[in-house]
Amino acid sequence: MKDIVVKGLCKSFKSRGKTITAVDDVSFYVTKGEIFGFLGANGAGKSTTINILAGLLTQDKGTVKLCGKDPYKDWEYVKNRMNVSTAYFPLSDVLTVRQNLRVYAKIYGVKDVEAKINQLLEDFELTALGDKRVNRLSSGERTRTALCKGFINDPQLLLLDECTVGLDPDIAEKTRRLIKEYQKRTNCTILFTSHYMHEVEELCDRVAFMEEGKIVTIATVDELKKRVTKHKVELTLAENGDDLKDLLKEEGLTVLAGRDNTLIFEVDVASDDVNTIVQQLVKQGLNLKDIHIKKPTLDDIFIHFARRKK
């Protein structure tokens, strides 16, 4: 079963007489229980797509199905089963954390309101701040409050738009763990955007890359990594490696960095064999202390797509 089905989604905005295309013929699906990552540079169209799915924005063209239904026709059914959270929109700052959560719990028709709020406050380490007004919280605490709201109705479909921005690393790690645990426990579907690639790598089953309003690729993280054939090789030498730089350049390799006894160069695993290269270097008198081959991360994939665009 597919919890999100998007077909031919288009959205453009008019600004000072110019038409800006934010989302251009975007189609994708997310199966039930999947965590689907949305990646792309700022202005790529990720948030616009999420805002359309959240019902905050109407599309120019295209269709959206959420939880198997048309959200415009089956408003009650869809809206009660989904929720949204983002670090950029805190809850009402005049209200306390508890008051905010109580209001949203009642909006979603949550049965045991206080028990649910207590559990969420404990999960996100906000119990001591429950009676504090949102405008007195730090940005990380506000973000956690917004996350609590995102889980208030035990959603079947959760849209998380850069929901960990501003969190301390330990809380961000805990948040990711909570998201994962919740997803495993409830088999909920999550659409996740983040600028932190390691988060996407850790959480997401599949990833879509957006560029100028279009989806350029959809794949699993492993599949994406395979597409990036350039690996980084870091050599630690017994002596200064300045002479080696020229040697590597002669071999047609790109030297990325070199200082003192360390040298980093790039190999294309599709055409180059790292073993052969290293053997040749040793034959030519290279005194090698350590070698480290870095496989591409999502950061590298992100850069790969960004470079490709340029």
User: Which residues contribute to the site for other proteins (CB under 8 A)?
Assistant: 13, 47-48, 51, 54-58, 75-76, 79-80, 83-84, 86, 88-96, 99, 102-104, 106-109, 133-134, 146, 149
Instruction: State the residue for tokens 């879509």.
Output: 208
**Cβ closer to other proteins: 89 or 198?**
89
**Cβ closer to other proteins: 60 or 223?**
60
d(CA 226, CA 187): 28
**Cβ closer to other proteins: 103 or 264?**
103
**285 CB-side CA count, 13 A:** 6
Q: How far is the CB of 84 from other proteins (least distance, A)?
A: 4
Q: How far is the CB of 207 from other proteins (least distance, A)?
A: 23
**Cβ closer to other proteins: 98 or 206?**
98
Specify burial of residue 15 (Cβ count, 10 A radius: 0-12, 13-18, 19+): exposed
Q: How far is the CB of 62 from other proteins (least distance, A)?
A: 14
Specify burial of residue 243 (Cβ count, 10 A radius: 0-12, 13-18, 19+): exposed
Q: How far is the CB of 253 from other proteins (least distance, A)?
A: 44
**Cβ closer to other proteins: 75 or 287?**
75
Q: How far is the CB of 43 from other proteins (least distance, A)?
A: 13
Q: How far is the CB of 109 from other proteins (least distance, A)?
A: 6
**Cβ closer to other proteins: 102 or 176?**
102
Q: How far is the CB of 5 from other proteins (least distance, A)?
A: 19
**Cβ closer to other proteins: 63 or 92?**
92
- Inter-axis angle of helices 139-151 and 113-123, nearest 10: 140
